[in-house]
Structure 1
Amino acid sequence: MYRLRLWSVRHARGLERLYKWVEGTMVALDPLFARIGYARVERPVAVLESGVKGLLFDCEMCGQCVLSSTGMSCPMNCPKQLRNGPCGGVRPGGFCEVKPWMRCVWVDAWDGAQRMRNGAWISEVLPPVDRSLKGSSSWLRVAREKAAERRHSETKSRARRIVAKAFAGARRNEPASAPLAEEPPSAVNREAQP
């Protein structure tokens, strides 16, 4: 497993593309998942995700996958489970202070991030782990969130088009400008008058 984890970091760019493809597929399947019911789909998708990510990344199934922002190196493999960078005990050569035979997860994360297109994401501060999501599918959660964002933006876009059409019709029927009314005496700046 450990060798596959190191392989995944070395091939972070290709795995980033594969991850984007999986994410796009999951978002495209959102209408089907919604019809079946996300609760019913959760278990089989989580089993598939656990198998794939367990093999490639030694995944702990925390339910909040951040591989795309940590160079395809899972921070949950850190003995201290640090989510935002290495501890102060990284040994010479980039090895872990707790497990001296293992390279520091964050040293590997930095190496993997340098290979990725979105490698700058490693600089973003990650929220703490929500332990209540452990064992759930992060693929499904992200797909559901992105599909909801897409529906929301499509709805806003449709509303803007409707307003634009209504505004164009109103401009044809109404004059371009209306005469201005005189300012009431209370609104006039008396100090500026001579």
Structure 2
Amino acid sequence: RMYRIRLMAVRHSRTFEWIYARLENALVRLHPLFVRIGYDRLERPFALAERGVKGLLFDCRMCGQCVLSSTGMCCPMNCPKQLRNGPCGGVRPGGFCEVRPDMRCVWVLAWDGASRMRGGERINNVLPPVDRRLQGSSAWLRASRERAHQDDLSPERERAALAQAFPAARKTEPASAPLASEPRKARH
């Protein structure tokens, strides 16, 4: 039964890609609240929820370094050899696994799922080895925290902060030369 649900997730990888992007964006927006609460306090409930959702949909092994968005929504930890970067040399005819002949090769499924996704080209990126110290932790929480940290450091963020402060600065420190009109705010 889990196997059939995993196959369904691969067939609908583009939909799950869309859902994952929205979830990550929501978690990044909640970063200031998460900082106040404390990421350590949030780890256990997030890991529990993640285990339930991803366990059901993707037969997740909770490695703590989710790469579903890079592998066509097919978890490479389901490979009997736990290969993180592509199939082994033993893929049988029809795309079946050499270790478990009744199961399609995880990487054959990953390529199928990636072909349906907008960001499917990420399957070509070499993935780092699994850090076993992260086993059982929430990849959702870590990924959103890392992205929030990157966003805080981005030059675009700095420019946006300056642009937002500029009208107030103009009121308190009028320029001697005429200024260009303010740019329109971008719609998101």
Which TM-score bucket, shorter chain as reference?
0.7 to 0.9
RMSD: 2.1
Superposition misfits of 4+ residues, deviation over 3 angstroms: 158-162
Counterpart position of 1:192: none
| CA displacement, residues 27-70 of structure 1 (integer Å, 9 cap, x when unaligned) | 01111110000000000011001100000000000000000000
TM-score by length of 1: 0.81
Counterpart position of 2:159: 157
Counterpart position of 2:119: 118
Structure 1, 144-153 or 82-91: larger mean CA deviation: 144-153
| CA displacement, residues 100-137 of structure 1 (integer Å, 9 cap, x when unaligned) | 00000000000000000001000000000000000000
Counterpart position of 1:89: 90
- Taking the aligned partners of 1:96 and 1:23, their CA distance within structure 2 comes to 32
| CA displacement, residues 58-97 of structure 1 (integer Å, 9 cap, x when unaligned) | 0000000000000000000000000000000000000000
- Taking the aligned partners of 2:100 and 2:4, their CA distance within structure 1 comes to 15
- Taking the aligned partners of 1:135 and 1:83, their CA distance within structure 2 comes to 17
Shift of 1:160: 7.0
| CA displacement, residues 159-182 of structure 1 (integer Å, 9 cap, x when unaligned) | 8769xx9xxx9xx8xxxxxxxxxx
Counterpart position of 1:109: 110
Matches within 5 A, 1:136-151: 136-151=137-152
The answer for unaligned runs of 5 or more in structure 2 is 177-188
| CA displacement, residues 5-33 of structure 1 (integer Å, 9 cap, x when unaligned) | 00000000000000001101110111111
Counterpart position of 1:41: 42
CA 1:160–1:32 in 2, change beyond 3 Å: closer, same or farther?
closer
- Taking the aligned partners of 1:28 and 1:21, their CA distance within structure 2 comes to 11
CA 1:16–1:158 in 2, change beyond 3 Å: closer, same or farther?
closer
- In the alignment, residue 6 of structure 1 is paired with which amino acid? L
- Taking the aligned partners of 1:42 and 1:159, their CA distance within structure 2 comes to 31
- Which protein shows a greater Rg? 1
Q: Does 1:62 align with 2:49?
A: no
The answer for unaligned runs of 5 or more in structure 1 is 173-194
- In the alignment, residue 81 of structure 2 is paired with which amino acid? K
Identity within the alignment, % = 67
- In the alignment, residue 27 of structure 1 is paired with which amino acid? V
Shift of 1:156: 3.8
Shift of 1:151: 1.2
